[in-house]
Copies of this chain bind each other. A is one copy, B any other.
Amino acid sequence: MIDGKKIRAPLHRWKSTMNQPTRFVLDEPRLPRVWYNLAADLPQPVPAMLHPGTRQPIQASDLAPLFPPAIIGQELSVEREIPIPDAVRDVYRLWRPSPLIRAHRLEQALDTPARIYYKNEGVSPSGSHKPNSAVPQAWYNKQAGIKRLTTETGAGQWGASLAFAGQLFGLDVTVFQVRISYDQKPYRRALMETYGARCLASPSTETGFGRSVLSRAPDHLGSLGIAISEAVEAAVATPDTRYALGSVLNHVLLHQTIVGQEALMQMEMAGDDPDVIVACTGGGSNFAGLVFPFLGLQLRGGRARRYVAAEPMACPSLTRGRYAYDFGDTAGITPLAKMHTLGSGFTPPGLHAGGLRYHGMAPLVSHLRELGLIEAMAYHQTECFGAGRLFARCEGIIPAPEANHAIACTIQEALRCKREGRAETILFNLSGHGHFDMSAYQDFNAQQLTDKTYDETELATALAGLPSVS
């Protein structure tokens, strides 16, 4: 893996690309009017979620304490196209359509025949793809008369996005932020508070589950699974309150497909067509957002492409997890989903890509992996930051630690193209910028960042503890 130290020379000898465009920007009227629902085109349906108590397939009514009716409808829908409300498009316009960019300088630095494009989702207010789902979720809750939302957040990308969306529609937002990220990234908390949300470190003393975790482990780093348990508990216990999830569920992935729908039009503008599409995966939402519209074309008879999910070696659900029914949270109060999981009792080691620190994977993404339609690769933290710093020095943008996984994978693919002499087209999702993650780059620059991996014994224990489903 390239670490960025040798990057000067190629740019130094930079060959102008003024005869080739760099940025592909769609006009506001071309902002998509529908989200694309992959469920309509699957060769086999995704296994149903199960009720945590009865272990029978969940019904819409089971989800009513958590979500408003419109969201539940989307979660279970098999309609191919779902209209985006005007009020949501009105907000999307603040930053969407997001640009598609040809990474000319990264290509030259790698001396690869591959053409590299990236979709820049870092241009949103909170700096990632997350508002694509936060805005409609807040809107549908507002329409249903809900007054308050609770949620979890890892690195803070999702929490900040929901804080922003809640503010726009007049909803109170409480965010349970995983403690390690709360401590590592104080500026994301400041961002949430600037948008008007309340932010708590999880495990917290505000919920029964948080208190029970703290009583056993007062210094617990937290995890997305624990924060979800707390947010769900708080939502159910408070009147006029619902819960919002930032990834994993079908409706979240649905909202993110606006990314890929724009990218389809933009690749056409570029007169190019991706052979390989890459995105990082934590819960799966930015991967799904970019990949599903392309994969949908393929499933309807279009050309085949490679789709690669890039995940952290420290939390490798797709590459090392088991495909089984498991809870979405640690307390076991959410529905059971069939997914690649490290076990809901597993606490991933603290790493800077907090948004990828989740034990499970979106059921839709897991299903695609089982069907052999997508690939997955795992990367170490330091090689990801090396890739991210190289990207920053070429393209200017400082990527989020999560997005660095996609960049590491893209560089690996581009170097393969070089070895094989193949001029393939690679498209990746730059899911967010790293402006609030600079302490990680500080550590990396000072060579104080280390590779983390999970504890094999803990993983085995967590997998042994998977809930039994008849």
Residue numbers of A with Cβ under 8 A of B are 8-9, 11-12, 14, 16-18, 21-23, 25, 27-28, 86-87, 89-90, 93-95, 101, 105, 123-127, 131, 164, 167-170, 186-187, 189-191, 193-196, 389, 392-393, 395-398, 433, 435-436, 438-439, 441-442, 445
Contact = CB atoms under 8 A, between A and B. Distances in A.
A194 B27 CA distance: 33
B168 A11 contact: yes
Nearest to A94: B396
The SS class assigned to the A binding surface is helix
Contact of A445 (B194, B393, B442): B194
A393 B438 contact: no
Given A196-B393, A445-B193, A16 B186 contact: no
Nearest to A443: B190
B442 A16 contact: no
Q: How many copies does the complex hold?
A: 2
Contacts of A389: 194
Contact of A16 (B86, B193, B396): B86
Given A16-B87, A18-B89, A187 B190 contact: no
A98 to B, nearest CB: 11
A89 B187 CA distance: 34
Contacts of A436: 435, 438
Contacts of A195: 392-393
A93 B12 contact: no
**Which 6 pairs of residues, A with B, have the shortest CB-CB distance?**
A125-B396, A435-B435, A187-B438, A12-B170, A190-B438, A190-B442
A167 B90 contact: no
A191 B389 CA distance: 10
B435 A127 contact: yes
Contacts of A89: 18
A187 B22 contact: no
A194 B398 contact: yes
Given A90-B16, A187-B438, A164 B21 contact: no
Contacts of A25: 25, 27-28
A263 to B, nearest CB: 17
A167 B8 contact: yes
A445 B124 contact: no
Contacts of A395: 94, 125
Contact of A90 (B18, B190, B393): B18
